[in-house]
A and B are shown apart, each in its own frame.
Chain A
Amino acid sequence: MSAPAQSNSEVIEAYLNTVMCKDASVVDRFFDPDVEYMVNGTPTPDPEGVLPLISAECHAAVPWLGLNRGRRAMREFLAHMHRNLEVTAFGPREVNSDGNKAAGLPLVSPPRAVDRPNRGDLLLRPLRAPGRVDRQISLPGKHIRCRIDIPHWRQLDAGDRWRTTSSADVVMRI
């Protein structure tokens, strides 16, 4: 007997847990071959003016931001991010779904000590020098308290294939 189908919320929850474990199988398990995965925006202006523009300064400091198309680009994006950041803790978040879409948002509460995650907070350790952007990116090697918001949007296209877009907003505070 086959396992019961997962709800969209459960799929996103499982994806978040898998990707935080740096599980290399996450791309093939969760993404359509034609996945479009956006983190914060695009480093080049969107001709239609819909996608947010990432400044050159910001992209230089956090180069894994941008729009990734296809599984290969997704693998490279995740590998790049994991080489630079280590997730040391992940507080609870909420995943809501409606029709063919789901969104995962962290639930944040007032700040606590730096080594204890807030509800919905990620604790990240930068592994390489990320540079500085608007005083939001810390100096390398510091164990910093970060908040990362990862709303995920899944949409079923006309061909019954899952297309996923994600946006992550990383705010790092020393």
Chain B
Amino acid sequence: MATGLTLEQMKRFVSDHFEDFVNKRNSGVIHKNMTPDFHDNDGPGGKPTGVDGDERMMLNLYKAMRDLHLTIEDMIAEGDKVVCRNIWRWTDAASGKKMQFHGFVLWRFEGDQIAERWATVTSPAEGTSWNAGQL
């Protein structure tokens, strides 16, 4: 099923999803934003999963990364897909170091929801501090 959303609507949808799912720590939003048969090709551990697997992963991230914050650095939309280039930042609880990793994610839409995901991320590395108010 194709999507009826425009390219700009898809971008806004993805941006809102990240804001709620990551920055606002609302894991349950994934049930609203994804199709019932949503397929994540690159879930935790590089294995495919669905909505429940991704929600569990995010709940674990909330616990491990108390100040986890994602910024979307770039976004591309074409057809029924959106690609994002993201930076994930947090403070390591044990060392107090500012950490980050970068990721690319490809989302495919069906109707007005996300139906499929592919992603790649860099390894976590020490980064620099950031001011969330400026993001």
Contact = CB atoms under 8 A, between A and B. Distances in A.
A90 B110 CA distance: 28
A155 B42 CA distance: 27
A8 B104 CA distance: 18
Question: Which residue of B48, B74, B78 has the most chain A CB atoms within 10 A of its CB atom?
Answer: B78
A36 to B, nearest CB: 14
B9 interface: no
B118 A108 contact: yes
A49 B127 contact: yes
Nearest to B75: A98
B77 interface: yes
Interface in A40-90: 40-41, 45-46, 49-50, 52-55, 58
Contacts of B42: 108
A45 B127 CA distance: 8
A25 interface: no
A53 B99 CA distance: 10
Nearest to B78: A96
Contact of A41 (B41, B78, B102): B102
B104 A149 contact: yes
Interface residues of B, number: 32
Given A94-B81, A94-B106, A103-B83, A149 B120 contact: yes
Contact of A151 (B100, B120, B127, B130): B120
Contacts of A18: none
Interface in B86-135: 87, 100-102, 104, 106, 118, 120-123, 125-130
A107 B41 contact: yes
Nearest to A46: B128
A52 B125 CA distance: 7
B41 A108 contact: yes
Contacts of A167: 85, 102, 104, 122
Interface of B: 7, 41-42, 46, 48, 73-79, 81, 83, 85, 87, 100-102, 104, 106, 118, 120-123, 125-130
15 contacts: A40-B122, A49-B130, A55-B125, A96-B81, A98-B76, A99-B76, A103-B83, A103-B85, A103-B104, A134-B123, A151-B83, A151-B120, A153-B85, A167-B85, A169-B120
Given A52-B102, A153-B74, A171-B46, 17 more contacts: A41-B102, A49-B127, A49-B129, A49-B130, A52-B125, A54-B125, A58-B123, A96-B77, A97-B76, A98-B78, A105-B83, A105-B104, A105-B106, A106-B118, A149-B120, A151-B85, A167-B102
Instruction: Give the 3 A-B CB pairs with smallest separation, nearest first.
Output: A49-B128, A149-B120, A98-B76
